[in-house]
Amino acid sequence: MSRPCNDCKVRDQSLCSSLSDEELSSLNSIGHNRKLERGQTLLWAGDEAALCANLLEGVLKLSATLPDGREQIVGLLYPADFVGRPFSEQAEHTVTALTDAELCVFPRKPFEEALEEHSRMERLLLRRTLAALDEARNRMLMLGRKTAEEKVASFLLDMALHLGKPESRPGTPVTFDLPLTRAQMADVLGLTIETVSRQMTRLKRAGLIDLPSGRLVTILDRDALEERAEAA
C-alpha cells in the first residue's frame, strides 16, 4: 500500500472527503501514487479507459481533436479534482499534464465497485459531475459567442480564481504563473496563438494586466477586466 492518506494533500477536498477513515483505508488498498511529468499523457481518447484518479498536485488538460489535428482543450483539472470516466469502456478525451503532476490512481473497475459500495462518495461524484457539466456548458457560451478579447479576459480571470493567492483584498493586484503556453491558451479559447498574443499585449497596453516575465501574469484592474470579459 502506498503512502497513508493522512498525509494526503487533498484529503478533505477530493472525493475521498466523503469517506470515513476506515472506508478510506479500504479504498487506499486499490489505489497508488503516480507522478506525471509536464507533457505526459495519462489517457488517450479512444483507448480503453483503464483508470480513474484524484489529482493531488499540478494541472491537467482534457482535450479533443479532429482527424486533421485541430485541437480543443475541453477542460482543465486542478488539485482535488477527479480524473477519468467511470462506467465507460473507452476514454472520450485525452488527459495530459500541463505541469508536473501527482495523482492517486485507481484501476477503473475496482473503483466503480468502490463507488457502489460507498454511496456518499457516489453522491459526491454525482454532484461534482453536475457541476462540471454546468461549467462545460458555460464554456460553450464563451466558445460560441465571445470575441477574442472577451475570451482572453475571461480566461485570465478564471486562472486568477484557480491560481491566485486565496482572497487578497479586492482591488489588490493578483499575480500568478500560467501553466499554459500561448498555444495551449489558444486551444482552450478556440483561437490561434497569434490572436491570443495580440489580445494579451492589448490588455497590457490598456493597463489592465502586466506581463512581467515568462508566463507570469498580474491582474492590475480586475473590474475592467471583468467588463471586457462580457461586454457589459
Partner DNA sequence: CGTCCGTTTGAAGGCTCTCAAAATATGTGG
Partner DNA sequence: CCACATATTTTGAGAGCCTTCAAACGGACG
Residue whose cell numbers read 468502490: 114
Report, in Å, the least distance between residue 104 CB and DNA. Answer: 27
Residues with Cβ < 8 Å from 62, sequence gap 6 or more?
A: 73, 74, 75, 76, 77, 93, 94, 95
Binding of DNA at residue 183 (CB under 7 A)?
yes
Binding range to a second copy, per CB under 8 A, among 36-44, 62-70, 166-174, 215-223: 62-70
Q: How far apart are CA 108 and CA 51, in angstroms?
A: 4
Counting contacts by CB under 8 A, is residue 3 touching a second copy?
no
Q: Binding of DNA at residue 94 (CB under 7 A)?
A: no
Q: 145-164: which residues touch a second copy (CB under 8 A)? A: 145-146
The C-alpha atoms of residue 187 and residue 66 are separated, in whole angstroms, by 12
Residue 192 is a binding residue for DNA (CB under 7 A): yes
Which of 113, 201, 230, 231 forms a contact with DNA (CB under 7 A)?
A: 201
Stretch that binds a second copy, among 31-39, 117-125, 176-184, 202-210 (CB under 8 A): 117-125
Q: What angle do CA 143, 145, 150 make, to 5 degrees?
A: 80
Interface with a second copy includes 16 (CB under 8 A)?
A: no
Asked whether 55 and 77 are in contact (CB, 8 A), the reply is: yes
3-state SS class at 177 = strand
| Choices 3-11, 97-105, 124-132, 196-204; region in contact with a second copy by CB under 8 A | 124-132
Say which entry of DNA, a second copy, none residue 125 contacts (CB below 5 to 8 A, set by partner kind): a second copy
Binding flag, residue 129, a second copy (CB under 8 A): yes
User: Quick one: cell of 231?
Assistant: 461586454
> Measured at the alpha carbon of residue 18, what is the angle toward residues 136 and 16, in degrees to the nearest 5?
75
> Which stretches of the chain bind DNA, using CB under 7 A?
147-149, 181-183, 190-198, 200-201, 211, 213-215
